[in-house]
Chain A
């Protein structure tokens, strides 16, 4: 009996074991999921709700990455208000179709915008212009009076892959840029890839900004070792006059960079005394390379220094008081705070631990103040009004809040997902506002209605007004938000129509009676008036092969009365704002071609149309 009972028990044992084991299997969701990406609905709704007709408190200018655009958002609603086309044609506003903007694009139909940079006075946003880099070696200026791209400067000679721009100095003296992809210089020079370490060169470039009108001009450059110059920030207040850039691949490696450029435990922050560089250029120093005056640090000591920074750093951010330079090694678990004063002392004492192509490398322990254990994959830091620092953590998918000076990590908030940059309200100026922070996430992983495999990015609004950070809102942004800047709305004063008195376009006409066609040889000029609800002339004749220029003046002075001019079969569509004149030029092909107003304007918008009649030769 006893043995039979034993057998029965033995038979039960696996069942019991299976029962016990089943309680030990992996959970269906991670522990962190319970707190990740949720917010207190009532508080969040109240904090982000901007009632119909009410205005947001902040503008956010978000980079559009490879779209070539800048996106304008309102905070705290996170509503997308407008798109500013910069490097790509944009039919919605006719950008890149009229003669002037087409010429400004210079044949390019894309750009890669990473870092918008608002103009500054004394280290604070002054609301005049917004600059933005393009990987194709260019910098653009947007006038915030009308939110229009006014200048695209470049491609700048010698700069190859302008990732590390467009960073402005505290009084908008320069827009800084640099090479991410070192190449043999000047452009057009050949050198085999195995000569990379010696014959390939990086440059950092200072593009001069006219303080009156923002017009950019060439400036000067500095020849740098063939590292990949990544991000930058200009010194401010005590560190004014200095510019800092992170660099990776200080291994000078080629090939599979994800491995070969990740071998050293520390790469560098390049610290450039730009006032000294400017003085050297004014003193006639510098060699002409690719038509630009370029300083070689070997021949011009005292201008460039290298600061060792934890592995493959991305962001370098100067604290609001200018005292600390925060470098974030993206393959490290720490963010490093360097002390500007200590950097100056080390330079004075020649406290070096080596050199790279004649550039002194400062001793790490002499210049760093703290290594802050923020978490994995720190990328970029922004600041609050009372010594708060916020660092994005790509690997951790989180934002860490810590304190300047005490270096303690106070709080951490998970974000969804894989944050790149972050933007705090005026968080990179001498006087950050606090209040809001936006996490600019690379991945959204379906936290939205599905739109197929090409998922949008995500920008999350975080309340930073209290000790603990609180998630408020998910917005889904168009590719590809890298950096963004958030500026108090009352700093920007846009016009709403172009005043008639300011229109000095030589082909502008302000009266339908002055509209008409003039011919000079085979060149035909059409002065066209757009006003509700007629495009005058309503038809005109030219000959096949004529070079036709149509200058469309929108003579409205009423807000929001835009008119379009779409010409069928010619790939032409321009939008003309109230008070504006735009021209399009094309060669006439025979036939009859309708044109019409493409921007809805009035009750009789549909009737706003005409015919281009082209007589055969």
Chain B
């Protein structure tokens, strides 16, 4: 009797994963932990009177201005003329839950590595991907908020705007560049590892079935 789809998927989900997928899961967990100390994203702004640029690094738990933090003060100082909220660490709820969530993801990845069935692997994959997508959306939404929630009493009225999430945009006298930094690349590497682990497990399934 040919096994039903449910049987096959149940078998697949309970199938233990091999050494390579486990190693990749361990690597992904390690990557996730490293992200804490790496900047995720960078915004750099140039204007004629700022030839050295103003730089802002976004971490999973904090903001860091260039020039020993001075750049963030300068960005806020300039933004107050157009009525933008101050960029402060307190203004980002993300900074509270992101390290916690990343820690959770690391634990889930480690759990998948230790218990080592496809089920755990799929769980970890799904949670991680959801986290990545949500974070990206959250970042975009924050940028949107900052660019749109402008005080009506601002000295200089500008139309609400969307700062670039990725790439370059000219905003008034500023060239604004927005690009991912090491933290994001590590995160993508971690996600790729988990994806690859899943792929290898799938290939193993084929071998199990053949056997």
Contacts and interface: CB of A to CB of B under 8 A. Distances in A.
Interface of A: 531-533, 556-558, 603-604, 607
Contacts of A532: 77
15 contacts: A531-B77, A532-B77, A533-B81, A556-B77, A557-B70, A557-B73, A558-B70, A558-B73, A558-B74, A558-B77, A603-B81, A603-B156, A604-B81, A604-B155, A607-B155
Contacts of B81: 533, 603-604
A604 B155 CA distance: 8
A533 B80 CA distance: 10
Contacts of A603: 81, 156
B90 to A, nearest CB: 15
A495 to B, nearest CB: 13
Contacts of B74: 558
Size class of the contact patch on chain B? under 10
A531 to B, nearest CB: 7
A531 B74 CA distance: 11
Q: What DSSP secondary structure best describes chain B's contact surface?
A: helix
Contacts of A533: 81
B86 to A, nearest CB: 13
Contacts, number: 15
A532 B156 CA distance: 14
Interface string B76-105: 010001000000000000000000000000
A151 to B, nearest CB: 30
Interface string B56-77: 0000000000000010011001
A330 B70 CA distance: 56
A124 B155 CA distance: 54
Nearest to B73: A557
Interface in B120-171: 155-156
Contacts of B156: 603
Contacts of A558: 70, 73-74, 77
A455 B110 CA distance: 84
Nearest to A556: B77
Contacts of A556: 77
Contacts of B77: 531-532, 556, 558
Nearest to B155: A604
Nearest to A560: B49
A604 to B, nearest CB: 6
Given A558-B70, A604-B81, A604-B155, 12 more contacts: A531-B77, A532-B77, A533-B81, A556-B77, A557-B70, A557-B73, A558-B73, A558-B74, A558-B77, A603-B81, A603-B156, A607-B155
Contacts of A604: 81, 155
A556 B76 CA distance: 12
A531 B76 CA distance: 12
A556 B156 CA distance: 21
A603 B70 CA distance: 20
A102 B14 CA distance: 85
A533 B77 CA distance: 9
B64 to A, nearest CB: 15
Contacts of B155: 604, 607
Nearest to B77: A532
B46 to A, nearest CB: 15
A334 B70 CA distance: 60
